[in-house]
Structure 1
Amino acid sequence: MENLFTEKTRWCWHPDFKPKEPCFIFFRTAFDIKEKSCRLKLNVSADNRYNLYLDGKIIGRGPCRSDPEHYNYETYDLDIEPGRHAIAAHVTVFGSGSRGKEVAIAEMHTGSGFLVAGGIFKNEKKILNLETPDDWKCDEDKSRFHRPLDAEYDLRTYTAIPSMEKIDFSNLPRKWMYSQFNDSLWLKPKDFGPFTLRSTVKDPYTQWWLVPRQIPMMEEKEDIFKSAVKAEGVDLSSVTDWLQGKSPLIISYHSKITIDAGNLTTAFPRFEFDGGRDSTVKITYSESLFVKGKKLERDRKDGVVFGYSDLLKLDGGTSCFEPFWFRTFRFVEIEINPHSSSHITMHPPSFKTFMFPLDLKADFETGDCEIRRIWEIAWRTARLCAHEHYYDCPYYEQLQYTGDTRIQALISYSSTGDGRLGRQAILQYDWSRLPEGINQSRYPSAWKQIIVGFSLYWVMMVRDYYEYFGDKELVKEVFPGIRAVLEWFERHRMENGLIGHLRYWNFTDWLPEWPNGNPARTTSNPLTINTMQYAEACRTAAYLAEEIGDKSGIEFKGKYKKSIDAVNKLCFDRKLGLYVDMPGTNFISQHTNSWAIISDAVTGRKAEALGREIFENEKLSKATLYFSFYLFRAWEKVGCYELFWKQLENWKSVLKWNFTTFPEIPFEHTRSDCHAWSASPIYEFLSCVLGVKPGSPGFEKIILRPHLSKYGKVSGTAPVGNDKINVSLELSGKKELVLKYDLKSARPVTIVWPDGKKQDAGRTKSGMFRRALKKSVV
C-alpha cells in the first residue's frame, strides 16, 4: 500500500548506536482507540530485520530478503478493537565479520534503521498516525547478543547463516511488548531521513529503495518434540514424561538432555524455565547425531549432538526463550548448569515450524512403500529449502544458488502450481548482474560469487516459468538481461567456435575426482559442457524472443548452430564414441554426454545409444543426486527414460542411513543433510512418469507424455494451471498401456505415448485411452 506513506514517514534509529553496529533494539508505541470497526494499516521495514508485535503477539517478520535497490516493506491490515494497544518491534543488526564467521551472507543491508508508515483507519480515513519516529520510543536490548557460530566448536565447513544468540534474562524488560509497560525512560528515536520508493526514486536521501513484498509471510505451525534420545544427570523416563506434557522437569545438577523432533525441521524452538538464578543453559542444534565425529545412521542412540548453540543465563524468574531467527534441527541438546544450589523447573518444549506456504496439490502412488518414502522425504527436503527465497540448505548456508533453484522451482511448479518463489528468484538473479554482463551465482548475497554455468541455467529458468505460467511480461522484463548474459559468453568464444576458458568458478558437480567441482581439473582448459550449455541457452533465448516478438531470435539460432558445430568437430572422440570433457583430453563424464543429448549435438539413434552408454559405461565420471536431473532430461529426450528407475537406486541407497531429507551428496558423511537439489524425484514422478506437462504456455493445453515403469499400475495428481489432473497408467498384459485422466474443467489434451506417437484427445474433462507397446516393462 504505497498510499500509506506520507511526508511524515521517516526512517529512524536508536540515537546511541552507529549504523551497522551489531545490536538488538526495542521499538514501541502505545495508543488508545475509542471507536469501533477500526483497521490497523501499516507499512513496515527495518535494516537488518524486525519481528513485529501487536499487544505482545507476533504479527509478522521481515523485511523479506532482497537487496538495497529492491528493499522490501511488509503491509499489515488488521481489525483492531477499542482500547489501549501497543505496537512493538524487535530489530537486529547482524555482525559483519570474515566469511563463514559472523556474516549472514543472504542479508543485504546498508546500515541500521526502522520505518513505519500508516496508522488507525475508520472507513478508509486515518484517525490516528503511527508513523516513525513521531510517538515511538526505543531502547537497547541489553539482554540479547549475537553469538558467533564458532563460539565453542569448529564445524570445519563453510557457513553463511545468521549468528546464534547469547541471552541474559536478568536484563530483559518484562512485558515490553504490551501497552501497560512503562517506557518513560526509553529514548526518542533519531530521525534518519525520508523514505524512498523505488517507483518514484529521483535523488534519494536514504539508501533503501522500497518495494512491496512480493511473496506471502512464512507459514508457522505449532509442533512438539517427539522423543527423548538420552539424558545425563536426570532420569530418561522423566524426560519422556516432560516431553509428553505429563509433568515439568526439575533440574538440580549438571544435566544434558538430547531430544528428537522426529524429522529435520526449520523452526523457532521455545523453551521455558522457572527459577535457577544465574544458572546457564546451552541449547545446541544438529541435523543428525555424530558417532566419534562422523555421521552414520542419523538417529544412532550412541551418537551425540554437534552444531551451533544458543547460550542462556537465567534470572530466577520465568525465562522463556525463542530465537530471533529460526533454527534448523532434528536433534537438540539442552545442557543445564545450575548455579550453586539452584533448582530449575523446565516446562515442556515446543517449536513453530517456519517455511514458505507451499500447498501440495500433487500425489504419486505405485504401491511400493520405498517409492512412497522417497516422495515424502523429497517433499520435506523441498519445503525446508523454501523460505523467503529458495535455499541450497537451511543448516549451513541459506543461500539461493541458481543451479539448485532451477530444480527447486520446477518441483514447486509441478507439485503445487505455485510460481511465486520461482518468479522472485528469476528477478533477483536479474538484479544480481555484474556490469560486465554475467549474473551472480547466488542472490541475494552480500558476498559476490560467480559460477559461470549458473547464468545459463537462469536463462533456462525463464523458459521453465513461462511454460508453466505464460507470463510474457516477465520474459520481456528480463530479456535484456538474457541478452547481456549471452553476450558475455559470446565475448569468450574462441576462433575455433568453442567457448574458451572462463574465469570465475567453473563448478559442474561435486565429484571426488573434480577439484572444486570443475571437470577441467585445471584452471586453463575450456570446458565442452560450457559450449553445450551456452548453445542450449541460445536456443532457449531464440524461443523466448519469438514468443515476445523480439527480432533477435534468428541471431541466437545462428549462435546455437555455430556452437554445436564446434562441439561436434572438436569435442567428440571417435575412438571412445563419447564427448570428452575438454577438447584434446580423454576425460569423460555423464555430465558432458548428457548435455550433448540435451543440446542436440547428437540426435536420433546415435543419441539413444549415447543415452544408454552414459548409464552403462563405468569409465565415465558419475553424476551425483543433483546432476542426475540432467541425466533424466537426456534420457527423457531420447526414449530411454526407463533408466530413471535404475538411477533412482542412488536415492534408495541413502535411505539406510535414516535420512528424513535428501542430502547434498549421496554418502553418509555428506556435509548437508538437506539439499533440495536432490529432491528432483518429485518432478520426475509427476512430469515424466505420469507425464503431465504444459502443452502451451500457462497450461492452456495439456500434454500427457507418460513413461513406462516396472510397476503394473501408477497413479497420481498434478496441478495444471488453476486446475488439477488425475492420471492413472496401467499395463495390461505387459503389452498394452491404459491411460485414464480426469479434470474439473475441459482442456485440450494431447497424449504422447512412450513410442513417440501422438494422439489428440480433444478438449475434454476426462478420457481413457489404450496403446499397444513394442517394448514391455523395465
Structure 2
Amino acid sequence: MNTNKIKIAYTKRMKQILWFIALFPQFLLAIQPVKWQAQWIMHPEVEPQSYAVVLFRKNFNLNSKPDSFIIHVSADNHYRLFVNGKYVLRGPARGDLSHWFYETIDIADFLRSGKNIIAAEVINWGPKRSFSYFSQMTSFILQGNSSKEEVINTSAGSWKCFHNKAIYPKIVDWMFDRTTINSGLYLGNPTDSVRGEKYPWGWETLDYNDADWELAKWADVAGERGTQYAGGILYSAGKLLVSRRVPILKETPVPFQKIGRVSGIEKEEGFIKGTHPLTISSHRKVSLLIDQTHLTVGYPEMLVSGGKGARIQITYAENLLLNREVKGNRDEIDGKYMVGIKDVFIPDGGKNRLFKPTYLRAFRFIQLDIETENEPLVIEKYEHVECRSPLELKAKFSADNDLVNWIMEAGWRTISLCAQDYLMSDAYYEQLQYVGDSRVHNLALFTLSGDNRLTRNALLQFDQSRISEGLTLACYPNAFYLIIPSYSLIWIDQIYDYMMWRDDKAFISQFELGIQNVLYWFEQRMQPNGLIGKMEWWGALAWPRHYQNGEPPTIYEGNNTLYTLHYAYTLRHAAAIFEFLGEKEKADGVIDGRTRFVSQ
C-alpha cells in the first residue's frame, strides 16, 4: 500500500472538512429563511415611481464591538450601503416583483464600541430606467439577523431620510434613433448630472448633522402600513423577498492605463496613476482622452478639490469613430472622435469631493472635457473600480500562436466582465440577460470556470418569465414584453447543457412542466406536412443579410424549415432530459411527437 498516496488523500480531505467548517455559518444563513420584522420604508414626499435619489441614515449605540453583526438588506431599485462612512456593498441582485432579492452580510468589521451610523443611498432611475430593472416604489429595507442586531431594523420613524436633489438624470436617447451612433440600442439606466453645491457631502459619516432630515415612513402609497407577512415571508403590496442566488459582486480598484491625447493642457498621467494630482488653472478649457486599452465595466471614481462651478463632462465609449459607419482598429485613435454616454459633475469648490456614477459604466475610452471658472480645479485622483462576479479561471489553453492566445484572453475577459448579478448580453448597449446569448455564455463559463451559480440563476429566471401560453420571455429580468419563440427552445437546450455538466436531478426536475408547455406550444403549430406553420410574436432566428430583423422570409406564412429543424433539435434534448429524470414514457412521447403531458 502506498502510504504517501494515503497521506496526500487524507490531507486533501482534511482541508475540505476545514473549509466547510469555516463556511458553515454562511451556509446556515443561506438555507434558513429570514423571519422579517423590519418594514419597507420610503421618503414621505418622493413620488413612488419617479426618478429619485434618497438617502437613509440611522444612529445606534453598541456596548462593545461585536464579533458578528449580520444584516439582510434590499431596496427598490438599487442601494449602496455604508457603515461608519465606509462603503460596504451594493445591490440588490436583479429580480422581479415575485422574486425580489436581498443580500445577507456580516458588518461587524465596520462597527465599533459606542455610537455608530449605518446609511444607504437608494436610487430609482424612474420611467427611463434600464429594461432589466423592475420597480414598485422607491424604498429600502434592512433587518438584523437576530435580537442583538434588531436595533437597526427599518421601520417608520426609526430612520431618517433625505431627498438628494443634487443628482439629476441624463436621459440617453438611443432607443429608437440609431443614427445617433453607428451601432447601439441603449437600454441601460439614465446617466448622472451632479451639482456639488446641492450635495450633502459627508452624509454617510458619523459626524454629519442630519437634524433637518425627515423621518422615513412606511413604504405604502396610501400612507398606511404597507407590509404583510405570510408564513414568515415578507411581502409588500406584491413584492416577495427571496435570498440572493448569485455571489456578491467583486469591486476592485484598477488604475487607468494611459492618456491617448490631450488639448488645452500638457499631457500628464500622474493623476490616473495615483502618484500626484492634476491641476487645471482657472478659465481653462481642456480635453483628455483616457485609453484603458481594453473594454472594462465598473464605477470610475474621481476625487477633486476646488474648481467651484467648473463643468466636468465624462464621456464613455467602447470605441472611437472614424465616421458613423466605421470603427476600425481600436488601437488607432488619430482622426477619430468620441460618441458615447455622458456624466456631468459640477464641483462646489470643497476639498476631496468624490464623483462616482450611480450605475455601471462600460468603456474602453473615457474623455474628460473640463471647463473651469474662477477657481483652479485639482483632480486629486481618478481610478476605475472594476465590477464583476467573483469567478475563477480554472481552465487554460495556449498555443504557439499569438492570435489564438489573444482570443482566449479576450474571450475570458468578455464573459467574466459580462457576468454581473446576471448574464449581461452586452456591456455597453442593451445590458440584458437574453436566453440565446446566455447559452453561449454559460457553455464558456462551464468550460473555463466550472462555476454554475449564474447559470442556475438564469435558468430559473427564464422559467419564471414564462407567459400563460407557455413560452419564456426572450430576456429576463425585464419589465417589457419581448418574446422570441426560438429562445424558448434555447432555454430547453440550456437545461440539457446543464444536465450534461451536472448530475443534479433535483434542480432540473423543477423545469419539467415548463419544458412540456414550450414543446406543446410548438406542437400546436405543426402542419400535416411536418413543418411548423405560421409563427406569432417576433420570429427572429438568425441574422443573415437576406433576413429582415432576424426573421426567415416566410416566418409568418408557414412552412418554416429552420424553425422546424430547431424544434426537432430541441425535442432530442427534451427526450434526454426526461430520460435523465426517469420519465421514460415522456421521453418516448417526445420522440414519437406526442408532447401533450399536462393531463397525464
Letter in 2 for 1:345: V
Quote the residue 2:287 is aligned against. 256
Q: Distance in 1 between matches of 2:416 and 2:150?
A: 42
Quote the residue 2:431 is aligned against. 398
Q: Distance in 1 between matches of 2:323 and 2:241?
A: 50
Equivalent position to 2:191, from 133, 152, 164: 164
CA contact (8 A) 2:166 2:194 kept: yes
1:417-432 alignment to 2 at 5 Å?
417-432=450-465
The 3 A distance-change label for structure 1 pair 542 and 410 is same
CA contact (8 A) 1:197 1:209 kept: no
Equivalent position to 1:326, from 347, 351, 360: 360
Question: How far does the alpha carbon of each residue in 1:591-645 deviate from its partner, in whole angstroms, 9 at most, with x for none?
Answer: xxxxxxxxxxxxxxxxxxxxxxxxxxxxxxxxxxxxxxxxxxxxxxxxxxxxxxx
Quote the residue 1:298 is aligned against. 330
Question: How far does the alpha carbon of each residue in 1:142-188 deviate from its partner, in whole angstroms, 9 at most, with x for none?
Answer: 21111111399933641110110000011111211112211111111
1:257-406 alignment to 2 at 5 Å?
257-293=288-324, 294-302=326-334, 303-318=336-351, 319-339=353-373, 341-406=374-439
Quote the residue 1:106 is aligned against. 132
Q: Distance in 2 between matches of 1:196 and 1:222?
A: 41
Question: How far does the alpha carbon of each residue in 1:539-577 deviate from its partner, in whole angstroms, 9 at most, with x for none?
Answer: 22222112212231111111189xxxxxxxxxxxxxxxx
1:30 and 2:59 are equivalent in the alignment: yes
Quote the residue 1:584 is aligned against. none
- Greater alpha carbon shift after TM alignment, 401-410 vs 295-304: 295-304
CA contact (8 A) 1:276 1:342 kept: yes
1:155-554 alignment to 2 at 5 Å?
155=181, 157-192=184-219, 193=225, 195=227, 205-236=236-267, 239-252=268-281, 253-293=284-324, 294-302=326-334, 303-318=336-351, 319-339=353-373, 341-520=374-553, 523-550=556-583, 551-554=585-588
1:628-647 alignment to 2 at 5 Å?
none
Q: Distance in 1 between matches of 2:88 and 2:148?
A: 23
Letter in 2 for 1:104: S
Q: Which one has a bigger Cα radius of gyration?
A: 1
Q: Distance in 1 between matches of 2:33 and 2:575?
A: 41
Quote the residue 2:96 is aligned against. 67
C-alpha displacement at 1:311, in angstroms? 0.8
The 3 A distance-change label for structure 1 pair 451 and 3 is closer
CA contact (8 A) 2:362 2:427 kept: yes
Structure 1: 5+ residue stretches without partners:
97-101, 562-778
Matched residue SS, 1:138: strand
Question: How far does the alpha carbon of each residue in 1:489-548 deviate from its partner, in whole angstroms, 9 at most, with x for none?
Answer: 111111222111211122222222211112326642432121111112222222211221
The 3 A distance-change label for structure 1 pair 197 and 489 is farther
Matched residue SS, 1:68: coil
CA contact (8 A) 1:116 1:132 kept: no
The 3 A distance-change label for structure 1 pair 452 and 59 is same
Q: Distance in 1 between matches of 2:413 and 2:228?
A: 39
| Structure with higher RCO (Cα < 8 A, 6+ apart) | 2
Matched residue SS, 1:297: coil
Q: Kindly report structure 1 stretches of 4+ aligned residues shifted beyond 6 Å.
A: none
Quote the residue 1:135 is aligned against. 158
Matched residue SS, 1:283: strand
CA contact (8 A) 1:286 1:329 kept: yes
The 3 A distance-change label for structure 1 pair 196 and 354 is farther
Q: Distance in 2 between matches of 1:129 and 1:519?
A: 57
1:544-693 alignment to 2 at 5 Å?
544-550=577-583, 551-559=585-593
Quote the residue 2:4 is aligned against. none
C-alpha displacement at 1:210, in angstroms? 0.8
Quote the residue 1:115 is aligned against. 141
C-alpha displacement at 1:135, in angstroms? 2.1
CA contact (8 A) 1:107 1:446 kept: yes
CA contact (8 A) 1:289 1:299 kept: no
C-alpha displacement at 1:36, in angstroms? 3.8
Sequence identity, in percent?
A: 30
The 3 A distance-change label for structure 1 pair 105 and 127 is closer
Letter in 2 for 1:111: M
CA contact (8 A) 1:38 1:81 kept: no
Quote the residue 2:14 is aligned against. none
Matched residue SS, 2:397: strand
CA contact (8 A) 1:224 1:351 kept: yes
Matched residue SS, 2:559: coil
RMSD: 2.2
C-alpha displacement at 1:260, in angstroms? 1.0
C-alpha displacement at 1:125, in angstroms? 4.5
Structure 2: 5+ residue stretches without partners:
1-28, 220-224, 596-600
The 3 A distance-change label for structure 1 pair 350 and 205 is closer
TM score, norm. by length of structure 2: 0.87
Matched residue SS, 1:552: helix
Matched residue SS, 2:510: helix
The 3 A distance-change label for structure 1 pair 188 and 125 is closer
Equivalent position to 1:51, from 62, 65, 80: 80
Quote the residue 1:711 is aligned against. none
The 3 A distance-change label for structure 1 pair 553 and 198 is farther
Letter in 1 for 2:327: K
Letter in 2 for 1:67: D
Matched residue SS, 2:553: coil
Q: Distance in 2 between matches of 1:199 and 1:458?
A: 32
Matched residue SS, 2:593: helix
C-alpha displacement at 1:273, in angstroms? 1.6
Quote the residue 2:23 is aligned against. none
Q: Distance in 2 between matches of 1:410 and 1:38?
A: 41
Q: Distance in 2 between matches of 1:483 and 1:136?
A: 49
C-alpha displacement at 1:131, in angstroms? 3.1
CA contact (8 A) 1:196 1:209 kept: no
Quote the residue 2:169 is aligned against. 146
TM score, norm. by length of structure 1: 0.68
The 3 A distance-change label for structure 1 pair 206 and 521 is same
Q: Distance in 2 between matches of 1:42 and 1:56?
A: 17
Quote the residue 1:598 is aligned against. none
Q: Distance in 1 between matches of 2:126 and 2:120?
A: 20
The 3 A distance-change label for structure 1 pair 127 and 316 is closer
The 3 A distance-change label for structure 1 pair 507 and 291 is same
Question: How far does the alpha carbon of each residue in 1:372-427 deviate from its partner, in whole angstroms, 9 at most, with x for none?
Answer: 11100111111122111111101001101111101100111111110000100000
Quote the residue 1:685 is aligned against. none
The 3 A distance-change label for structure 1 pair 521 and 334 is farther
Quote the residue 2:11 is aligned against. none
Letter in 2 for 1:390: L
The 3 A distance-change label for structure 1 pair 525 and 103 is farther
The 3 A distance-change label for structure 1 pair 4 and 400 is closer
C-alpha displacement at 1:4, in angstroms? 4.7
Matched residue SS, 2:88: strand
